[in-house]
């Protein structure tokens, strides 16, 4: 447990000092503030403003940031990890667990740091048309999408040795998945479809079954990615 | 108890590259074991498997009597490891990194701070203790790596090329540090291709080549080996005739020589005693009618012995088999076995029986320790 906590603290410190974080967080905050001002002055609908922000700002920027932070989590530090950490009294399970908690936890922390105050301000100043249950479901779904992306990034990071290739593959997979799912008639599973449905979801208009299946699929995929990360890393030569 | 014990340890990367080839290595408690070999011989691979960072393709490895694996953090807690050209998080300071190592090892904070202070002083990094690592020289990084390896006061210390990239002063300092660390029941394994470092600090040495241990034994035997098997003669007269007859000095032609003017430096790769070869050289001198000006045996350096061992390993095959057969037929007891054979091969059994049967007459080339047949050559000049 001590090794887990030590690695978690170390990784969290690395993330806080990372240039990605220093660029990502301000880029999220600035448009959020702008939208609060616009929504208040123009009396925009809260659900539409929130959905637009999530679809146009939060998800694209966060997807890139999370891809970089997770796809480089192991590949980018391979030698330090092998020689400096795993050659000591740390099991691979402890190490991967700490990395997963640190990276995904950090991504969710940034998400909450931005979305909680932004949501509060939008509801406060914009024209309220949200259902609180729908709001929670909508934000939860957005967080789940990010978490899935991060988990997939971590899996790729254990499989590939090149950070750049890991990041590119991750982004290509995400972008291409929409087309593939559309071709297979599973459009509802694509991130685009989920984000398109964000405004109705926040208003509480999306059927419960639709919400449930999205959460189930992305939750399941996240779990599979995490298990794959453990499995691959345990077998890999360092 | 063997601190490290490998049995037919094999590692093949991507089904293409054989990094370790049935390696059998044993290191006992308290030894300072030098693992010597050229670049790409398999030294680092051995260590990585030893630490559980890689899995062997075949064979087994035991550390402190237990099987090593990726999840054996309990065994790694007793090991300190210095990798080749160690890398550290660039923004961390030595204090920060050693604190991190201490927390990973589960050390109480206070104890970790005392330990890191002592270690930074011991490796002479006190003045740089709060500077980021990114500005450090190679020597400083190595010293920090040694400090990190010692944080848990390990029973087994593994140093992979500890003097790599260091200037002569840095090398001397590192060797002195290693010498101070030996003893107190600590076992040290040093991988290096710098033989003078091995000679200075190691009690035992193993030579690894192409993934196999081709020699393993005490340093004292290696030194003795360095002085055997070579006869240097300086002659005058019909030197051409003498030179033409040199290959006939051994029935199987396992002899090589260098000529520098009128001096011939003849090295014997066979299993006969040096006295025997010396007699043959003198007979040859007599037969060819040259005048002997000077004769000398040995004066090989360790490096020469090492190179000879490597070349010997490369030129085996039929030569080795023929010399084996000759040794088994009734010459004195020196069945030297090929590191690639397993214990239950017919040749290994025959060699064992031959060696056992002709035991008393070992001469200066004493039998090595009673290790298994496939552990390579034990303190002998090899065939």
**DSSP conformation letters of A197-218:** THHHHHHT-S-HHHHHHHHHHH
CB pairs under 8 A between A and B: 80
DSSP string of A17-71, one letter each residue: H-HHHHHHHHHHHHHHHHHHHHHHHHT-BHHHHHHHHIIIIIHHHHHHHHHHHHH
Sign of the Cα torsion A145, A147, A149, A155 reads negative
Taking residue B365's Cβ as centre, other Cβ atoms within 10 Å add up to: 22
Q: Regarding predicted confidence, which is higher, B345 or B326?
A: B326
Mean pLDDT of B336-355: 38
Burial class (CB in 10 A: 0-12, 13-18, 19+), A21: middle
Is residue B338 pLDDT above 60, yes or no? Answer: no
Of A79, A87, A90, the CB nearest to B81: A87
DSSP string of B229-295, one letter each residue: SEEEEEEES-HHHHHHHGGGGSTT--EEEEEETTEEEEEE-SSS-HHHHHHHHHHHHHHHTPEEEEE
Q: Does A89 sit within 8 Å of B104, measured CB to CB? A: yes
What's the pLDDT at A25? 95
Strands of B86-203, DSSP E: 156-160, 187-192
- Residues found in chain A: 238
Question: Which residue in chain B is spatially nearest to A93 when comparing CA positions?
Answer: B71
Question: Which residue in chain B is spatially nearest to A237 when comparing CA positions?
Answer: B54
Of A80, A91, A237, the CB nearest to B73: A91
Question: Which residue in chain B is spatially nearest to A2 when comparing CA positions?
Answer: B106
Q: Regarding predicted confidence, which is higher, A136 or B326?
A: A136
Q: Does A2 sit within 8 Å of B70, measured CB to CB? A: no
Instruction: Of B51-65, B141-155, B194-208, B362-376, give the lowest mean pLDDT range.
Output: B362-376
Q: Residue with structure tokens 């390696």?
A: B23
SS3 B165: coil
Q: Residue with structure tokens 């298994």?
A: B372
Q: Which of A185, A174, A122 is nearest to A148 (CA)?
A: A174
Helices (H) and strands (E) in chain B — how many of each? 13, 15
Which residues from chain B sit within 8 angstroms of residue A82, using beta carbons? 48, 53
Task: List the 61-100 stretch of A: residues with Cβ below 8 A of B.
Answer: 79-80, 82-94
Q: Regarding predicted confidence, which is higher, B377 or B91?
A: B91
Q: How far is A78 from chain B (nearest CA, A)?
A: 10
What's the pLDDT at B67? 94
ipTM reported for the complex surpasses 0.90: no
Is residue B3 pLDDT above 90, yes or no? Answer: yes
Q: Which of B76, B240, B69 is nearest to B157 (CA)?
A: B76
Q: Does A235 sit within 8 Å of B55, measured CB to CB? A: yes
Token pair recorded at residue A194? 């989920």
- A13 and chain B in contact, CB less than 8 A: no
Positions of chain A with pLDDT lower than 50, given as ranges: none
What's the pLDDT at B347? 36
Q: Residue with structure tokens 């890139």?
A: A64
Token pair recorded at residue A162? 């090149």
Strands of A91-154, DSSP E: none
In angstroms, the CA A181 to CA A183 distance is 5
In angstroms, the CA B381 to CA B365 distance is 8
What's the pLDDT at B227? 54
Question: Which residue in chain A is spatially nearest to B76 when comparing CA positions?
Answer: A89
- A14 and chain B in contact, CB less than 8 A: yes
Q: Residue with structure tokens 């003097």?
A: B163
- A127 and chain B in contact, CB less than 8 A: no
- A235 and chain B in contact, CB less than 8 A: yes
Alpha-carbon distance values, B270 to B72, B75, B321, B325 (Å) = 45, 43, 11, 12
Number of domains making up chain A: 1
Task: Please indicate, yes or no, whether the overall pTM of this predicted structure exceeds 0.80.
Answer: no
Q: At what angle do helices A46-53 and A19-42 cross, to 10 degrees?
A: 160
CA B287 to chain centre: 41
Q: Regarding predicted confidence, which is higher, B25 or B319?
A: B25
What's the pLDDT at A195? 87
What's the pLDDT at B214? 87
Q: Regarding predicted confidence, which is higher, B16 or A84?
A: B16
- B141 and chain A in contact, CB less than 8 A: no
SS3 B374: coil
Q: Assign residue A183 a region: left if phi > 0, alpha if psi is -120 to 50, beta otherwise?
A: alpha
Is residue B52 pLDDT above 50, yes or no? Answer: yes
In angstroms, the CA A189 to CA A169 distance is 19
In angstroms, the CA B300 to CA B308 distance is 10
Domain span including residue A136: 2-235
What's the pLDDT at B59? 94
Mean pLDDT of B207-211: 89
Which residues from chain A sit within 8 angstroms of residue B48, using beta carbons? 82, 237-238
What's the pLDDT at B155? 93
Q: What is the pLDDT of residues B159-186, one digit of tens each?
A: 999 888 788 888 888 888 888 888 767 9
Question: Which residue in chain A is spatially nearest to B90 when comparing CA positions?
Answer: A80
Token pair recorded at residue A181? 């799912």
CA A128 to chain centre: 27
In angstroms, the CA B268 to CA B383 distance is 9
Q: Regarding predicted confidence, which is higher, A204 or B305?
A: A204
Which residues from chain A sit within 8 angstroms of residue B91, using beta carbons? 17
Q: What is the pLDDT of residues B213-236, one digit of tens each?
A: 888 988 877 766 655 567 889 999
Q: Which of A45, A204, A48, A35 is nearest to A136 (CA)?
A: A204
Q: What is the pLDDT of residues B357-372, one digit of tens each?
A: 333 333 332 333 333 3
Mean pLDDT of B36-44: 89
In angstroms, the CA A202 to CA A195 distance is 11
CA A99 to chain centre: 15
Which residues from chain A sit within 8 angstroms of residue B148, using beta carbons? 84
């Amino acid at each position: 447990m001590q090794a887990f906590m030590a690695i978690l603290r170390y990784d969290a410190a690395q993330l806080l000092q990372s240039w990605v974080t220093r660029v990502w967080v301000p880029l999220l905050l600035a448009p959020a503030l702008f939208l609060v001002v616009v929504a208040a002055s123009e009396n925009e609908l809260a659900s539409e403003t929130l959905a637009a922000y999530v679809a146009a700002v939060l998800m694209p920027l966060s997807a890139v940031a999370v891809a970089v932070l997770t796809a480089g989590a192991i590949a980018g530090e391979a030698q330090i990890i092998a020689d400096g950490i795993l050659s000591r009294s740390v099991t691979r399970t402890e190490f991967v667990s700490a990395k997963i908690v640190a990276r995904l936890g950090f991504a969710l922390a940034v998400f909450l740091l931005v979305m909680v105050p932004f949501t509060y301000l939008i509801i406060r100043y914009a024209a309220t048309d949200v259902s609180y249950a729908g709001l929670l479901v909508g934000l939860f779904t957005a967080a789940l999408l990010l978490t899935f992306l991060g988990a997939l990034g971590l899996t790729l990071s254990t499989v590939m040795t090149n950070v750049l290739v890991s990041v590119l593959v991750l982004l290509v997979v995400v972008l291409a998945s929409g087309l593939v799912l559309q071709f297979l008639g599973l459009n509802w599973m694509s991130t685009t479809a989920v984000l398109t449905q964000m405004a109705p979801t926040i208003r509480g208009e999306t059927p419960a079954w639709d919400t449930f299946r999205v959460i189930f699929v992305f939750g399941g995929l996240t779990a599979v990615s995490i298990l794959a990360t453990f499995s691959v890393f345990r077998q890999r030569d360092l | 108890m063997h601190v490290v014990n490998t049995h037919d340890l094999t590692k093949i990367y991507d089904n293409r590259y054989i990094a370790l080839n049935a390696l059998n290595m044993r290191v006992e408690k308290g030894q300072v074991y030098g693992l010597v070999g050229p670049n790409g011989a398999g030294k680092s691979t051995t260590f990585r498997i030893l630490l559980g960072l890689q899995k062997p393709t075949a064979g087994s490895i035991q550390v402190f009597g237990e099987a090593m694996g990726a999840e054996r953090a309990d065994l790694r807690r007793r090991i300190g490891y210095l990798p080749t050209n160690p890398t550290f998080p660039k923004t961390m300071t030595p204090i920060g990194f050693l604190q991190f190592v201490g927390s990973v090892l589960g050390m109480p904070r206070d104890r970790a701070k005392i330990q890191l202070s002592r270690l930074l002083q011991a490796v002479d990094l006190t003045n740089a203790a709060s500077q980021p690592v990114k500005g450090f020289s190679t020597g400083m990084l190595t010293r920090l790596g040694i400090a990190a390896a010692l944080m848990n006061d390990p029973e087994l210390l593994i140093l992979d090329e500890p003097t790599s990239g260091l200037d002569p002063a840095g090398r001397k300092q590192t060797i002195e540090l290693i010498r101070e660390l030996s003893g107190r029941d600590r076992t040290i394994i040093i991988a290096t291709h710098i033989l003078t470092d091995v000679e200075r600090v190691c009690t035992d040495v193993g030579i690894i080549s192409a993934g196999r241990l081709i020699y393993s034994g005490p340093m004292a035997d290696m030194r003795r080996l360095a002085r055997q098997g070579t006869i240097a003669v300086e002659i005058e007269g019909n030197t051409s005739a003498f030179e033409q007859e040199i290959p006939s000095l051994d029935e199987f032609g396992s002899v090589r020589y260098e000529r520098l003017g009128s001096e011939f430096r003849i090295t014997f790769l066979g299993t006969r005693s040096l006295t025997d070869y010396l007699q043959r050289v003198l007979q040859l001198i007599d037969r060819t009618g040259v005048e002997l000006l000077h004769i000398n045996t040995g004066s090989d350096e360790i490096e020469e012995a090492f190179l000879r061992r490597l070349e010997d390993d490369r030129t085996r095959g039929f030569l080795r088999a023929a010399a084996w057969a000759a040794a088994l037929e009734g010459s004195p007891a020196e069945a030297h076995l090929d590191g690639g054979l397993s214990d239950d091969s017919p040749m290994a059994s025959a060699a064992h029986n031959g060696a056992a049967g002709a035991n008393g007459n070992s001469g200066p080339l004493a039998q090595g320790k009673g290790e298994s047949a496939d552990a390579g050559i034990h303190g002998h000049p090899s065939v």
